Amino acid sequence: MRVEADTDAVAAHVAERLHQALEQAAVLGLATGRTMEPVYAALLQRLKALPPQQLALLLGRWRSFNLDEYVGLAKDHPQSFASFMQRQLAGPLQLPGGCLQIPDGCAADPEAEARRYSAAVIAAGGIDLQLLGLGSNGHVGFNEPPCSASESCRCLGLSPATREQNAAAFEGDPAAVPERAITLGTSEILAARRVLLVVTGTAKAQILRRALQEPPCPEVPASWLQRHPQLEVVVDQAAAAALKFS
């Protein structure tokens, strides 16, 4: 557990971790959401400061899999997670097409797309470093509660709480948030060699405490992360406010 003073310090630390992983040619598991915006900005800053040849080498072997995507939103829809990644990383870094993977929200058969995506992760040798945010209802990726520790990549319905949480990106209208998504499951997330959970802000303090300091349970999907042998948690002081330290 690492408690940083604020979101900037969290972002700087996580960006350093991601940079190290890229240098090791790791397969990254990437996340979206507001928590990740300063993280990706800090990563961009680090990478753009590299000598051009070093940067080209690093980008040339970039392999990443995003956690999730809304069903029904095309890659170029401004609110799709594909667009988010394009804005935050792929565009500014001019990443070669295909190295940053994400489920296809417009696949004709979303269940088949989820199976294809899971198989693609396995074919890449699995995820070396999985970056995770925390949903305000305890979800990771879009693994909505209740959720066991052994769910696979799948298409599922989003809860009213999650559509409310993500409404800001849809002009504040929860009804405009897609009803379904494709997400890597808890099984793929727990199979990652290392997991980096990043949580910031007072609004996440209580759910973070439940995720980390209460017995794991389906009602808080993130709580299964307690079973991961290589979990690193990076939070700011606001998110850490409800944690009990011995």
Q: Choose, from 13, 69, 113, 137, the residue flagged as catalytic.
A: 137
User: Which range in 21-29, 71-79, 115-123, 133-141 contacts ligand GLP by CB under 6 A?
Assistant: 133-141
Sole residue written with tokens 């079973």: 227
Separation CA 85–CA 30 (nearest Å): 9
Name the catalytic one among 4, 13, 66, 68: 68
Neighbouring residues of 104: CB distance < 8 A, sequence distance ≥ 6: 69, 75, 113
Q: Alpha-carbon distance 228 to 196, whole Å?
A: 11
CA 131 to CA 61: how far, in whole Å? 18
CB of 135 to ligand GLP, least distance (A): 4
Q: Which of 13, 21, 22, 33 binds ligand GLP (CB under 6 A)?
A: 33
Output 53 or 232, the one with its CB closest to ligand GLP.
232
> Which residues are within 8 A (CB) of 74 and not within 5 positions of it... i.e. 6 or more apart?
80, 105, 106
Neighbours of 20 (CB within 10 A): 11
By CB under 6 A, which span of 8-16, 25-33, 108-116, 207-215 interacts with ligand GLP? 25-33
Binding track, positions 153-172, relative to ligand GLP; x by CB under 6 A: ---------x---x------
Q: Which residues pair with 194 in a beta bridge?
A: 129
Scanning 32-40, 103-111, 145-153, 231-239 for contacts with ligand GLP by CB under 6 A, the matching segment is 32-40
- Kindly give the interhelix angle for 7-23 and 36-48, rounded to the nearest 10 degrees: 50
Among 9, 18, 67, 189, binds ligand GLP (CB under 6 A): 67
CA 242 to chain centre: 23
143 is catalytic: no
Residues with a known catalytic role: 68, 137, 139, 144
- Where does this chain bind ligand GLP (CB under 6 A)? 31-35, 67-68, 133, 135, 141-142, 162, 166
